[in-house]
Amino acid sequence: MSKSAIQIETRGLNVSFHNSPVLKDINIEIPAKQLTAIIGPSGCGKTTLLKSFNRLLEIQEDVKISGEIIVDGKDIMTSGLNVPDIRKKMGLISQKPYPLPMSIFENVAYGLRIHHGKNPKKVEEGVHHCLQEVGLWNEVKDRLHDPASRLSVGQQQRLCLARAIAVKPEVILCDEPTSALDPIAAQQIERLLLKLKKDFTVILVTHTLRQAKRVADYVIFLYFGMVVEHGLADQVFNDPKSPEMKAYLSGEIS
Amino acid sequence: MLASLAIVIGSLILIVSVIVLNGASSLSLEMLTQTSEGSFYLGSGGGFLNAIVGSLLLALPATAFAFIISVCIAMYLQKEFIPSRFSSFIRICLDIMWGIPSIVYGVFALTIMIALGLHGGSVLFGIFALTLLEIPIITRSVDESIKVVPHGLKESAYSLGSTRFETSLHVVRRQAMPGIVAGILLGFGRGIGDAASILLTVGDSNYFPTSVLDQTAALPTIILNLAGMPEKTVQNKAYAVAFVLLLIVLSISILTRYFTKKSSKYIIK
Ligand SMILES: Nc1ncnc2c1ncn2[C@@H]1O[C@H](COP(=O)(O)OP(=O)(O)OP(=O)(O)O)[C@@H](O)[C@H]1O
Ligand SMILES: [Mg+2]
């Protein structure tokens, strides 16, 4: 990993909900401009780890977070930082797409306006560009002002992706983005993520091993809140070190 | 189940038909277009346009004030702003406020009025009493509609780098809009129809109020006065006024339906 730059590094990260630990002593490095897959059995803390990167956990109650999360060389857990500025660097795509309660156009324009100015012409160009990036432009160009909720789930997921890149983040956090989609829509998203890793660091939580094998450059394997194995995809998949990883790969645990 | 349905529908039909039958027949155009003359309660001529205007001048500003205050409280009650042990305490207080009989708000406003050395009632203190009456109603219904905004939607907004304020203003507000509209109109409906809270605070008058310190007539209070009179013709006027009040409340609920539907267009399920 010495070749590529590190986008996110955690040091001794611990997270607990209502005093029960969910993540224990996480020490990982996530390479920049690559696709990192976070895998592991259900309930092992994948979503929690993902949401700790953009400090999204703290909008919930009774969450305790300790340790360091270093992004661009700075610890984002330092108190007194402007949290929206941290979040703006990381787009989030969740399992179930949640478009904003606005039109298709406004969904993408939202992030542009709050971070990059309200000039109508610029906003319009930006919306066009982002929708084009996710391959949605041709499908929606005649109904930009329809409610976003009228799109299909797969389209909504791509809209969420467009909305996220409109903010111009460095990282795109994806939490099982394809699990609610049909195979074709899922494939579209997968291809998009592969395309986007040229410009963004992509972190993908997935529960399908096959998806991870298809797309991941780097893999983090979580097991009961601990990182049991992490490394280059080739190495983790073909030459696993830990018995848990071996068992997971062979389908004994899932 | 059928029995409860019958009781609800039956009593609604009964109330409405009594008011419509008695009210529509004794209502005349002059009642709607003229202000009261002489002793309206003793059967002299004229109409009650002054009371219609008075009621609107009381209920509209009261609803506006209550709305502004309520939205601020309701936003603040969400868990991003204060810990839930405080918000549940405030919610209990609001529910108690909701349950307080409106006459108590009337007496409260009256007490303040007297302490300030004002007598005889005024639009201002009527608005004050109605605002208090409406605050818990509007706050709780706005609060409920904000509370059910999906967590994932808020997460989406925060992940885009929105501040709490931007999230509340642009995203939560839109999603909660149908509930907010319903809350406003619920509050307004309660405000315009309530007699007890304004009974002691607005006084009475045959004219349109010209300043906030003027006394005014209002629909619920003149119903009370008219219905208490012995002559049948005067009592029938009470039905006419009640009929008008009913029409106002009915148009409010139609408006509610319309605006709720309109503001639901963009919400996310
Ligand atoms: N808000 C919360 N309050 C309390 N416990 C929580 C909360 N969120 C998650 N947990 C707990 O933390 C643990 C890890 O949850 P998390 O959602 O991170 O798992 P996951 O790996 O994403 O699982 P899945 O594959 O099912 O999505 C679980 O045991 C869960 O019950
Ligand atoms: Mg999860």
Ligand 1 in reach of A45 Cβ (< 6 A): yes
Nearest-by-CA chain A residue for B84: A61
Query: Counting ligands in written order, which one lies closest to the CA of residue A18?
Result: 1
Of residues A144 and A252, more confidence is placed in A144
The answer to whether residue A4 scores a pLDDT higher than 80 is no
The answer to whether residue B260 scores a pLDDT higher than 90 is no
Determine the distance in angstroms separating the CA of A155 from the nearest CA of chain B, rounded to an integer.
Answer: 14
Distance CA A178, CA A32 (A): 22
Backbone angles phi and psi of A164, in degrees to 5 = -70, -45
Of residues B235 and B55, more confidence is placed in B55
Chain A hits for B267, Cβ within 8 Å: 101, 149
Atom 16 of ligand 1 has which residue's CA nearest to it?
A: A45
Structure tokens at A166: 């409109």
Query: Per-residue pLDDT tens for B213-250?
Result: 898 999 999 999 888 888 888 888 899 999 999 999 99
Nearest-by-CA chain A residue for B153: A98
Q: How confident is the model at residue A3 (pLDDT cuts 50, 70, 90)?
A: low
Ligand 1 in reach of A167 Cβ (< 6 A): no
Q: What is the ipTM of this complex?
A: 0.94
The answer to whether residue B150 scores a pLDDT higher than 80 is yes
Burial B36-51 (b: 16+ CB within 10 A, else e): beeebbeeeebbbbbb
Query: Per-residue pLDDT tens for B71-127?
Result: 999 999 988 888 888 999 999 999 999 999 999 999 999 999 999 988 888 999 999
**Mean pLDDT over residues B202-218, rounded?**
89
Backbone angles phi and psi of B32, in degrees to 5 = -85, -20
Atom number, ligand 1, closest to the C-alpha of residue A51:
18
- Output the average pLDDT for chain B: 91
Domain limits of chain B? 2-263
Query: Per-residue pLDDT tens for A69-83?
Result: 999 889 999 989 999
The answer to whether residue B42 scores a pLDDT higher than 80 is no
- Contact between chains at B161 and A160 (C-beta distance less than 8 A): no
B132, B105 Cβ separation under 8 angstroms: yes
**Mean pLDDT over residues A138-145, rounded?**
96
Q: Would you identify the CATH topology of the domain B2-263?
A: MetI-like fold (1.10.3720)
Distance CA A40, CA A223 (A): 6
Of residues A30 and B34, more confidence is placed in A30
Distance CA A164, CA A161 (A): 5
Determine the distance in angstroms separating the CA of A55 from the nearest CA of chain B, rounded to an integer.
Answer: 9
Nearest-by-CA chain A residue for B160: A88
Query: Counting ligands in written order, which one lies closest to the CA of residue A61?
Result: 1
State the pLDDT at residue B269: 84
Please tell me the least confidently modeled range out of A100-104, A225-229, B9-13, B207-211.
B207-211
What's the per-residue H, E or C state across A214-245?
A: HHCCEEEEEECCEEEEEEEHHHHHHCCCCHHH
- Contact between chains at A114 and B150 (C-beta distance less than 8 A): no
Domains of chain A: 3-250 (3.40.50.300)
**Mean pLDDT over residues A44-51, rounded?**
96
Which of B80, B157, B161 comes nearest A100 by C-beta? B157
A94, A175 Cβ separation under 8 angstroms: yes
Ligand 1 in reach of A138 Cβ (< 6 A): no
User: E strand or H helix at B113, and its extent?
Assistant: helix B102-115
